Amino acid sequence: MTSPVSTSVDTLDRLDRARLLHLYREMLVIRRCEEQLAKSYQQGMIPGACHTYIGQEAVAVGVCAQLNHQDAVFSTHRGHGHALAKGVSPREVIAELFGRVTGVSRGRGGSMHLFSPEVGMMGTSGIVGPCILQATGAGYSFKLMNKPNVGVAFFGDGATNNGAFHEGLNMASIWKLPTLFICENNMYATEVAFAYSSSNQDVGTRAANYNMPGYIVDGNDVLAVYAAAEEATQRARTGGGPSLIECKTYRTRAHAEGMRDAGYRTQDEIDSWKQRDPLVSLRDRVIAAGKAVEADFDALETEVKALIEEALDFAKNSPYPDPATATEYIFSTPQ
């Protein structure tokens, strides 16, 4: 196993106030946006499925803090947080889930098809696993084009016993591709416990099989994710090849809105993870370190609340796509 040179504690020490508050704000935008989407789903405003990212915000934010718009992210069915952290606005996400023409995929995709190549968000997907291969392919393209960019796959524990995991990691390793494999191990694939479906409870240790660095980090600690992702990204950008980062985390809502959230897991387990809220712990640590004060966080709370309210109004007031344009944006237009 690989440990990042910089720990979570060092990272708190070396990042300045603005950077720390930025990380907090990014997580807060995801949290409030997801809470709003859950509410809107219950009100019948969202057609199709809606898998929220509540509890896992530190993973998307810690990783995407290392990326620029030319880096390519491939995501999952639980991908709103990845899109937001990569630079898609809450307006575009909410409008997309509402099926409006102002959505990021012009209202044609919904939750599991959020595409924004302009910011390097190369898609959320309802199919478990292929994002691993797509990010490997992006790494291959960057290497062929001699670009200092990285392909990033976010995937759940449920994708790690899928053939794509083996194929992608092996190929990325033999060709030393600039690819980051970010496993969000939230202990369940729908209602199936990873403890049941996997004989090895750690995903990070599997990196050794592919001869690449593997990290296991606390996925509820944005600074721990940040440190590991920073090291892995720098290695990938400078020709050092791929890395696997397992982030141990937990989703605190149901698998998807409208589904039960316990029965296959205990309420005590859910409650104990809620105590490890990634936002609360970052705020407490930053204040204890004297890097920012309570009022800084309160101001962000007010600002983000207004941002999400405005995004919700924008989505509600946007039109649905014109049926006459149904076949537009489906096929690429050759230049």
Ligand X SMILES: Cc1ncc(C[n+]2csc(CCOP(=O)(O)OP(=O)(O)O)c2C)c(N)n1
Residues at the contact surface with ligand X, assessed by CB under 6 A: 77-78, 126-129, 156-159, 186, 188-190, 255
Q: DSSP secondary structure string, 160-228? A: TTSHHHHHHHHHHHHTT--EEEEEEE-SEETTEEHHHH-SSS-SGGGGGGGTS-EEEEETT-HHHHHHH
Please report how close the Cβ of residue 280 comes to ligand X at its closest, in angstroms.
22
- Determine, following the binding rule CB under 5 A, whether residue 157 of this chain makes contact with Mg ion: yes
Which region among 139-147, 153-161, 234-242, 257-265 touches Mg ion (by CB under 5 A)?
A: 153-161
Q: Rounded to an integer, what distance in angstroms lies between the CA atom of residue 187 and that of residue 189? A: 7
Phi, psi angle pair for 71, to nearest 5°: -80, 145
Residue with the shortest CB distance to ligand X = 156
Minimum distance, C-beta of residue 162 to ligand X, in the bound complex (Å): 7
Nearest to ligand X of 112, 171 (CB atom):
112
DSSP codes of every residue in 50-81: ----TT-HHHHHHHHTT--TTSEEE--SS-HH
Residue 205: phi and psi, rounded to 5, are -65, -20
How far apart are CB 6 and Mg ion at their closest, in Å? 27
Helix 163-174, helix 130-144: angle, nearest 10: 20
- For Mg ion, the closer of residues 225 and 304 by Cβ is 225
Question: Nearer Cβ to Mg ion, position 34 or 157?
Answer: 157
Q: Which does 129 bind (CB under 5 to 8 A by kind): ligand X, Mg ion, none?
A: ligand X
Q: What is the DSSP letter of 14?
A: H
Binding piece for Mg ion, criterion CB under 5 A, among 16-24, 40-48, 146-154, 178-186: 178-186
Per-residue contact flags (x/-) with Mg ion for residues 180 to 199, judged by CB under 5 A = ------x--x----------
- How far apart are CB 59 and ligand X at their closest, in Å? 10
Q: 130, 156, 204, 219: which one contacts Mg ion (CB under 5 A)? A: 156
At CB < 8 A and 24+ separation, what contacts does 201-204 make? Answer: 202/246, 203/157, 203/160, 203/244, 203/246, 204/1, 204/244, 204/245, 204/246
Residue placing its CB nearer to ligand X in the complex, 106 or 251: 251
SS (H, E, C) 270-292: HHHHHCCCHHHHHHHHHHHCCCC
Which residue's CB atom is positioned nearest to Mg ion? 156
* Residue 159 vs 286, nearer CB to ligand X: 159
Q: Which is nearer to ligand X, 81 or 321 (CB)?
A: 81
37 binds, among Mg ion, ligand X, none (CB under 5 to 8 A by kind): none
- Interatomic CA distance for residues 185 and 76, integer angstroms: 13
CB 146 within 8 A of CB 70: no
Nearer to ligand X among residue 91 and residue 253 (C-beta): 253
- The nearer residue to Mg ion, 154 or 297, going by C-beta atoms, is 154
Least distance from Mg ion to the Cβ atom of residue 142, Å: 28
78 binds, among ligand X, Mg ion, none (CB under 5 to 8 A by kind): ligand X
CB of 310 to Mg ion, least distance (A): 32
β-pairing verdict for 192-193 and 188-189: antiparallel
68 contact choice in Mg ion, ligand X, none (CB below 5 to 8 Å, kind-dependent): none
Tell me the CA distances in angstroms from 195 to 124, 125, 200, 246, 285, one per residue in order.
Answer: 26, 25, 8, 15, 31
Partner whose footprint covers residue 86, from ligand X, Mg ion, none (CB < 5 to 8 Å by kind): none
Instruction: Read off the amino acid at residue 148.
Output: P
Tokens, residue 92? 């575009």
**What are the residues binding Mg ion (CB under 5 A)?**
156-158, 186, 189
